Structure 1
Amino acid sequence: MSLTRRSFIASACATPLFAPAVFGQSNMQITQIAGGFDAPWAIGFAGNGVLVTERDGALIYLSGTTRRTVSGLPEIAANGQGGLLDILIPRNHAQSQLIFMTYAKPQGRREGTAILRARFDPERAALTEVTSIFEMRRGSSGGRHFGSRLVEGPDGTLFASIGDRGDREQAQNTETHNGTIVRVTKTGAVPSDNPFVGRLGHLPEIWSYGHRNPQGMTLDLKGNLWAHEHGAKGGDEINKIEKGANYGWPVISYGTHYSGAKIGIGTAQEGMQQPAHFWDPSIAPSGYMIYSGKLWKEWRGHHFVGSLKFDYISRLTGSPLKEVAQIKSDATARVRDIREAADGSIWFLSVGNDGLYRMSPS
């Protein structure tokens, strides 16, 4: 089947293109839902369809057999790794119509990770009441390491990951937002129980710090926050995120600089967190989902992480956390995002194929 740019295949009539694709599994098929995207970054289920962000600054709405570009986005700095990035559909979306997205916001000659809030009108494929509720302090003119995943906490607050923006030493400087996970309310206010509220030398939005470039973040089935991040050469990490904790970058790492030079002091330092899992060689992780077990009961609580480098979806479980399988097929070329739908099916974006895919039982 050939796909032209902006072509769309409705899920109701899509046929399996890659089946079965899981090593050791025979009860699954992978179906292409849509193709022809331009650097797709994130997916969210809203209205009666799916929203897909494209890094260069477009938001696409797929519903039934129609495909429309959503109007109303603000100015977006599409530079390098920056642009229109993650999307979050909050739990009360059916009532509020609210959606949240992260994007690279112009800051004079710089760009910084920001969060926007808007109401989504699916009938008009339009955003209204668009406002930026947060932007990082001290952006950068480089196009690297925006981080940029969004998670709604159990209490309705928002977590957003921010990369070090290529300025690695700032990840240990809590007077900037570089290399942090921040927590704000849905209006952008600072929750009073954030760990650094009222502490001199710390920005109050910071929840954790010492991160390099976190491009995956999710909640587990108990409501705990987890994130993964890109290492340099080796040392991609998964971390259970604790309030106020320091995750070490660039003082400690299980990787090296691309030159082969040692990073910081080594792999451990008192007061800095150890990863729950790390990859060496790096897989370039992006997208993160912890599965409910709705369709595959044996996968309940398993971690799913996309690999941009090796073209597969990593499945991890256990304590300590270990990679136990790789979901790999022609569909999994440079996996950017992965989500569980309401029916328990698993959806993912392939940058390599510029496509949206659905995993379901065969």
Structure 2
Amino acid sequence: MPLLLFTGCDFVSSQTTPESTPESTTLPPNTLYFSEPIETSKVHSAEDFDFRVETVVEGLKFPWAMAFMPDGRVLITERDGTLRMVENGVLREEPLGGVPEVVARGQGGLLDVHLHPQYEENGWIYLSYSKEGEGGWTTSFIRAQLDGYALVNHEEIYTGNVNSRLGFHFGSRFAFDGEGYLYFSIGDRGEQDTAQDLTVSNGSLFRLHDDGRVPEDNPFVGKEGLDEIYAYGLRNIQGLATDPETGIVWSNFHGPRGGDELNIHNKPGANYGWPVITYGINYNGTPITDITEKEGMEQPVWYWVPSIAPSGMTFVSSDRYPGWKGSILNGALSFQLLSRVEVDGEQFVAEERIVEGIGRIRDVREAPDGYIYIANESDGTIARLVPVSN
């Protein structure tokens, strides 16, 4: 299959033939991705059960996201621009080829990786990254397929229309809702007022078909604003996850000093208020605004003060974790913990904080084997949470 190149040296081209990989197969249900851990922690206690943290991958450099393939392999992005693969439970030494040219500056780099819901039929892998543009950097979203150990058949899904030399708030997470629409995010890029401007891509959540086409029923089609935008007024979404029961997409985003938010996205065209309303303040202690509510602007399901700097998130659907089913797990960069939020429909019920001090949890995923995996950028590891039988 040919490698399609975009202008501006967006992609690294290789003339070598990729190594062959085993034919993709689907593992039987609950087959473990890792048979033996590298290291096992002491017993930790949660409200509902005790568990250990088992390190299963080490030697990574700022791991940002994970995608668990149906054949037992795992894709891991490293922020410096490398895409790694775990095969047969072992991290391959060589990174994958065909990865786009990444600007790894500030908070930018190679960011999220996500599989198409019908990956076994179409092989599409989605990547987000910061790229060079005229006058600065922006966030770009692509999809590609895997041929051996290289990405091929790249297709651009969307690229932000604002380039900036500010290295902040690239957003980037992906999620598919229950109807198969693709959602992804771009932060305000450090220019907070742009999150209220519908003519720019900053501070927004986008909704497209899986190939990048705009749905006809998107809220700003035929109106003033970008057709691709689904919701706005969002400072910097760092976690996206789909409720497996309802098919609705939820997000968390970084506030400033305080005011991190957990939001549900079930209203097309919703304005989440940043920076007009917020529960946070500037980093220097001065106010951003004097209001936390305003008519026509959404309230968060939950907010964190002080900030935990939430990152990757997932819904728990596995039976391996008694009492956690239906909860939302949020990785946290500040306080270095895992935040479990219990919800009832759209309402917050309770929060439990676990493994505080473990490291900066950049991503959280529930894998097909039913275990919760966390990407720890502090020590460059992937670990799983394993309940301990009483």
TM, length-normalised to structure 2: 0.86
Structure 1 residue corresponding to 2:75, chosen from 11, 32, 51: 51
Deviations 1:17-61 (A, max 9, x none): 213223335442211011111111000012421100011100000
Deviations 1:336-362 (A, max 9, x none): 000001121000100111110111233
Deviation for aligned residue 1:287: 0.6
Q: Which amino acid aligns with 2:354?
A: I
Superposition CA RMSD, Å: 1.6
CA distance in 1, matches of 2:211, 2:47: 46
Partner of 1:261: 286
CA distance in 2, matches of 1:310, 1:260: 20
Deviation for aligned residue 1:322: 4.5
Deviation for aligned residue 1:260: 1.4
Deviations 1:229-270 (A, max 9, x none): 001011101011121100000000001111211112410111
* Matched position secondary structure for 2:43: coil
Moved more, 221-230 or 311-320: 311-320
Unaligned runs of 5+ in 2: 1-32
Structure 1 residue corresponding to 2:124, chosen from 98, 102, 108: 98
Alignment of 1:305-320 (within 5 A): 305-319=330-344, 320=347
Deviation for aligned residue 1:78: 1.1
CA distance in 2, matches of 1:294, 1:222: 18
CA distance in 2, matches of 1:146, 1:96: 28
CA distance in 1, matches of 2:278, 2:316: 28
Structure 1 residue corresponding to 2:272, chosen from 228, 247, 256: 247
* Matched position secondary structure for 1:228: strand
Structure 2 residue corresponding to 1:280, chosen from 276, 290, 305: 305
* Matched position secondary structure for 1:170: helix
Partner of 1:326: 353
Deviation for aligned residue 1:333: 0.4
Cα distance 1:135–1:187, how it changes in 2: closer, same or farther (>3 A)? Answer: same
What is the total number of aligned residue pairs between the two structures?
349
CA distance in 2, matches of 1:112, 1:26: 43
Structure 1 runs, 4 residues or longer, greater than 6 Å off:
none
Partner of 1:335: 361
CA distance in 2, matches of 1:329, 1:309: 10
Structure 2 residue corresponding to 1:197, chosen from 213, 218, 221: 221
* Matched position secondary structure for 1:171: helix
CA distance in 2, matches of 1:187, 1:318: 32
Cα distance 1:15–1:59, how it changes in 2: closer, same or farther (>3 A)? Answer: closer
Deviations 1:270-327 (A, max 9, x none): 1000010011000011011111142124211101001101011001113541543222
Moved more, 271-280 or 315-324: 315-324
* Matched position secondary structure for 2:200: coil
Structure 2 residue corresponding to 1:165, chosen from 177, 189, 209: 189
CA distance in 2, matches of 1:15, 1:168: 43
Moved more, 11-20 or 161-170: 11-20
Alignment of 1:15-164 (within 5 A): 15-46=38-69, 47-64=71-88, 65-67=90-92, 68-121=94-147, 124-164=148-188
Partner of 2:212: 188
CA distance in 2, matches of 1:304, 1:336: 12
Unaligned runs of 5+ in 1: 1-9
CA distance in 2, matches of 1:179, 1:36: 33
8 Å Cα contact 1:55-1:83 kept in structure 2 = yes
8 Å Cα contact 2:242-2:250 kept in structure 1 = yes
8 Å Cα contact 2:66-2:113 kept in structure 1 = yes
Share of identical aligned residues, percent? 38
8 Å Cα contact 2:60-2:78 kept in structure 1 = yes
CA distance in 2, matches of 1:26, 1:297: 7
Q: Which amino acid aligns with 1:167?
A: E
Q: Which amino acid aligns with 2:61?
A: D
